[in-house]
Structure 1
Amino acid sequence: MKSINPATEEELASYQPITKEEALSAVDHAHDAYAKWKDLGFSSRKDIIVRLASIFRENAEKLSKIITLEMGKRISESQYEIEYCAKICEYYAENAEEFLKDQAIDVEGARAYVQHTPLGVLLGVMPWNFPFYQVIRFAIPNIMAGNTVLMKHASNVPQCAEMIEKLLLEAGLPSGVYTNLFIPTEFIEPILSHKKVRGVSLTGSEPAGASVASIAGKNIKRSVLELGGNDPFIILEGANLAEVVEKAIKGRMVNTGQSCVSAKRFIVVEPLAKKFIAGMKKGMAKMKMGDPMDEETQVGPLSTERAAVKLQEQVTSSIRAGAKAILGGDRPKCPGAFFNPTILTGVTPENPTFDQELFGPVATIHVVKDEAEAIELANNSSYGLGGSVHTTDIERAHEVARQIDTGMVFINRSTKSQAELPFGGTKNSGYGRELSEMGILEFVNRKLINQLTE
């Protein structure tokens, strides 16, 4: 497992995967740890996770550099990611006990309530694009709930994977409560099929989600999937175009466009189309590409050379099928996994990329005649993760938002993640929720206790 800097193509480190026997032994160790961890009080768990938040902040500079060097995220975004991890830790440390308290049920002639108890050993399969945050948003609420976690991280961010486990142990987490597994993909099935593993959460591609869900279903294990997205960004009459263009560019270019929940399809009504397109083109064209360690860089590399090659294949196939690149469409002539900021128009439903996720700095712009057509186009996707609606008519925006078939819709802002807000999608974007109170309830047993009083 190699750690390669995508900006320079330099190999930074390499790691030897563990054997299948070692992986299965880790399952047993996590199960043994669960037997003790589940009975530890919330106060003791809280102390450890609050300490972890402090460790994140104390080591923010070092951790941010690891992210940037390993997967190419701009350094300012890496710094934000580490701070966000600290906030998630604090959020669940403060609220987990309240979220999981007994829930009384008003029923005549009986005393009834629901008790929330942990399930046991959970498997996490996480991606590279937010290598600390994705792990933390799954692991921390479940650890606070009393579960133990086995983590199969993306193979191109092994330094991040190793560091997360080290930080948790430094914070005082007992051995076995969180275990990093350097394993190949083919080990997922025997681990998830193990009788001591009770559930799985995967964030990643649609094919990966389908495969893991199939294994979980066959073994009657609980699963949560957060998969791809093709988020609509709808611009209606009354929108402040100067503000909307700025939000649109930021929403598309976050993490160099490598975010499941970033704005990808820009749907604009005809009266605003010309000015919006001109603003997007001007803004994206002047973005500075370069070293992601440089604070002034606005466009970094993609995560790997393979990712850049795949994106080029998608863009080329889209253009061959009739789309037009009004900006970019190709890669710069320089070392590294870079891709020029790109805008595509004319991506019709017949185009091969119409219903594909373009994971990089590529925006597609669609012009529609009215609100009804905007809603229809927004929902014409196999994905349903997030989306946004932009107009100064707030009541109208809420009415449109209610009709968008996604897990999240934001008004006058791009889709974002926040500890207090449930995160997840519908359709081929997956199922289940992370973050908020909903996130901590995904992997607990909601047990009814009922006593007759009459």
Structure 2
Amino acid sequence: MTSPAHTATSVNPANGRPLSSRPWATRDELERALERASGGYRQWRNVTVAQRAAKLRDLGTVLRKNAEAMAQMICREMGKPIRQARAEVSKSANLCDWYAEHGPAMLKTENTTVADRQAVIEYRPLGAILAIMPWNFPLWQVLRGAVPVLLAGNSYLLKHAPNVQGCSALIKQLFDEAGFPEGVFGEINATNDGVSQAIADPRIAAVTVTGSVRAGQAIGAQAGAALKKCVLELGGSDPFIVLNDADLDLAVSAAVAGRYQNTGQVCAAAKRFIVEAGIAQAFTDRFVAAVAELKMGDPGDEQSDLGPMARFDLRDELHQQVLKTLEQGATLLSGGEKVAGEGNYYTATVLGDVTPEMTAFREELFGPVAAITLARDAQHALALANDSEFGLSATVITASEEQARFFTDHLECGGVFINGFSASDPRVAFGGVKKSGFGRELSHFGLREFCNIQTVWKDRR
């Protein structure tokens, strides 16, 4: 019989009841997974780009066929409200279609002439890519990395978060149903030691990570020691800037959606609300009122806007951050409580009078908590926005094109959203700077991250 210390257990965060347990991978299982990934790469790299694209279309079809099963698994394992879970599956299927249609052109050979010689740029695969993925978007995060990796001719070995092992196994089943050859897409329930062994193994060519800063630092250091390419998409404490000329209706609706989607558990969510003095009171009053209208409840209920947080320890950590911020002088405008009873629920919270030295400003709040900070003017708002170790994305709400350009030119982040909340889309690159990581996902940038961009010189003889 396997002891709890040797298993990863998935727990329903809505009621605290165990869903399933899965043993951690043994050394032998890791060895077999690495060998399959290596063998899958050697086979897959010789499949034409057009054939790879066709398989991605098949995957999109399979995802739509199994959409409800996948959405229900996401809902049960990490507590995402069911409407949002269905949207995640739909977005993931659309990703497959987009890369199948547009990706092959991004991998075409490029020709140029240098003096009297011809030069050719070829986009070759690297090998087997190890992916360490998080629980908050258990399908989308996996596919937004895997789809371009596979189209480029690499294989992909997934190590998913321990609390979404049901999602991980189901994703593997969907790839199998779509007809991908053995080893092209694999998954393994590896321990931290197992991940370290995989990174050091010569059969792994590169690593991609979506997770915390701490995880990115540890895995990035190991990849660096092995001289292996890595892409890191880490945390964020994104500023949401509301200027005096903002459309209040737009500002409030974007703020609520940008902060409380997925119960606030989004790397690129709006977290620090930096509001210019002239509009601060009106925005705050309307924002607090709108947040009060959000319905918290069973994530399986079609009417729920907020579900439970994914893990009990994360709720406790968030609550401590809120309490520290209040002790430091912030004002509690709404929420701030762990909901009594079963389940991992935390009330939608708004903190006012937050200043730069406070916990809610300096740290990432990974849950349904918004922190409002007053800015004297636009220059002060910019300084506050950039006063962070993170640099994932930012939102600016303004009616002025000149102000929008000013902020776009000076914000220190990977994505700027004017009059809208942050989002990701396969047509444009996604990623951050500073401690939010490096490298890019999506678009042609993400497709080429794990390519050997090979230059071939040809003499004219």
Q: TM-score, normalised by structure 2?
A: 0.97
Say which is worse superposed, 252-261 or 11-20, in terms of deviation.
11-20
Counterpart position of 1:158: 165
Question: Aligned-pair distance for 1:104?
Answer: 2.1
CA distance in 2 between counterparts of 1:365 and 1:388 reads 14
CA distance in 2 between counterparts of 1:142 and 1:410 reads 27
Does the 8 Å contact 1:74/1:300 carry over to 2?
yes
Question: Aligned-pair distance for 1:246?
Answer: 1.0
**How is 1:51-70 mapped onto 2 (pairs within 5 angstroms)?**
51-70=58-77
Counterpart position of 1:219: 226
Query: Among residues 287, 293, 296, which one is paired with 1:280 in the alignment?
Result: 287
Secondary structure of the residue aligned to 1:254 is helix
Does the 8 Å contact 2:429/2:446 carry over to 1?
yes
**How is 1:2-13 mapped onto 2 (pairs within 5 angstroms)?**
2-13=9-20
Question: Structure 2: where are the runs of 5+ without partners?
Answer: 1-7
CA distance in 1 between counterparts of 2:293 and 2:37 reads 50
- In the alignment, is residue 300 of structure 1 matched against residue 304 of structure 2? no
Does the 8 Å contact 1:122/1:197 carry over to 2?
yes
- In the alignment, is residue 441 of structure 1 matched against residue 461 of structure 2? no
- In the alignment, is residue 120 of structure 1 matched against residue 127 of structure 2? yes
The percentage of aligned residue pairs carrying the same residue is 38
Counterpart position of 1:428: 435
- In the alignment, is residue 351 of structure 1 matched against residue 363 of structure 2? no
Counterpart position of 1:81: 88
Question: Aligned-pair distance for 1:170?
Answer: 0.6
Secondary structure of the residue aligned to 1:201 is strand
Secondary structure of the residue aligned to 1:363 is strand
CA distance in 2 between counterparts of 1:404 and 1:222 reads 27
Counterpart position of 2:107: 100
Query: Among residues 251, 260, 268, which one is paired with 1:253 in the alignment?
Result: 260
Say which is worse superposed, 279-288 or 441-450, in terms of deviation.
279-288
Counterpart position of 1:202: 209
Secondary structure of the residue aligned to 1:7 is coil
Counterpart position of 2:269: 262
Does the 8 Å contact 1:137/1:435 carry over to 2?
yes
- In the alignment, is residue 27 of structure 1 matched against residue 42 of structure 2? no
Question: Aligned-pair distance for 1:169?
Answer: 0.7
Q: Which amino acid aligns with 1:185?
A: N
CA distance in 1 between counterparts of 2:83 and 2:249 reads 24
Q: Which amino acid aligns with 2:53?
A: K
- In the alignment, is residue 231 of structure 1 matched against residue 229 of structure 2? no
Question: Aligned-pair distance for 1:313?
Answer: 1.1
Say which is worse superposed, 124-133 or 318-327, in terms of deviation.
318-327
Question: Aligned-pair distance for 1:26?
Answer: 1.2
Q: Which amino acid aligns with 2:129?
A: L
Question: Aligned-pair distance for 1:109?
Answer: 1.1
Say which is worse superposed, 159-168 or 320-329, in terms of deviation.
320-329
- In the alignment, is residue 325 of structure 1 matched against residue 335 of structure 2? no
CA distance in 2 between counterparts of 1:225 and 1:18 reads 24
Deviations 1:295-346 (A, max 9, x none): 1111111001111111111111111122221111111223211101111123
CA distance in 2 between counterparts of 1:351 and 1:388 reads 21
Does the 8 Å contact 1:122/1:200 carry over to 2?
yes
Give the paired residue count: 454
Secondary structure of the residue aligned to 1:290 is coil
Say which is worse superposed, 316-325 or 52-61, in terms of deviation.
316-325
CA distance in 2 between counterparts of 1:46 and 1:451 reads 30
Say which is worse superposed, 425-434 or 100-109, in terms of deviation.
100-109
Does the 8 Å contact 1:398/1:411 carry over to 2?
no
Question: Aligned-pair distance for 1:210?
Answer: 0.1
Q: Which amino acid aligns with 1:329?
A: G
Question: Aligned-pair distance for 1:396?
Answer: 2.1
Does the 8 Å contact 1:237/1:269 carry over to 2?
yes
- Evaluate the alpha carbon distance shift between residue 355 and residue 106 of structure 1 in structure 2; reply closer, same or farther with a 3 A threshold: farther
Question: Aligned-pair distance for 1:11?
Answer: 1.1
- In the alignment, is residue 396 of structure 1 matched against residue 406 of structure 2? no
Secondary structure of the residue aligned to 2:340 is coil
Secondary structure of the residue aligned to 2:174 is helix
Counterpart position of 2:146: 139
Q: Which amino acid aligns with 1:389?
A: V
Does the 8 Å contact 1:224/1:432 carry over to 2?
yes
CA RMSD of superposed structures (Å):
1.1
CA distance in 2 between counterparts of 1:142 and 1:161 reads 17
Q: TM-score, normalised by structure 1?
A: 0.98
Does the 8 Å contact 1:125/1:203 carry over to 2?
yes
Does the 8 Å contact 2:129/2:157 carry over to 1?
yes
Question: Aligned-pair distance for 1:24?
Answer: 2.0
**How is 1:409-420 mapped onto 2 (pairs within 5 angstroms)?**
409-420=416-427
Question: Aligned-pair distance for 1:245?
Answer: 0.5
Secondary structure of the residue aligned to 1:289 is coil
Does the 8 Å contact 1:245/1:280 carry over to 2?
yes
Question: Structure 1: where are the runs of 5+ without partners?
Answer: none
Question: Aligned-pair distance for 1:77?
Answer: 0.4
Q: Which amino acid aligns with 2:248?
A: L
Q: Which amino acid aligns with 1:146?
A: G
Does the 8 Å contact 2:244/2:277 carry over to 1?
no
Does the 8 Å contact 1:145/1:440 carry over to 2?
yes
Does the 8 Å contact 2:239/2:271 carry over to 1?
yes
Deviations 1:153-174 (A, max 9, x none): 0000000000011100110000
Secondary structure of the residue aligned to 2:361 is coil
Does the 8 Å contact 2:250/2:419 carry over to 1?
no
CA distance in 1 between counterparts of 2:265 and 2:415 reads 18
- In the alignment, is residue 336 of structure 1 matched against residue 343 of structure 2? yes
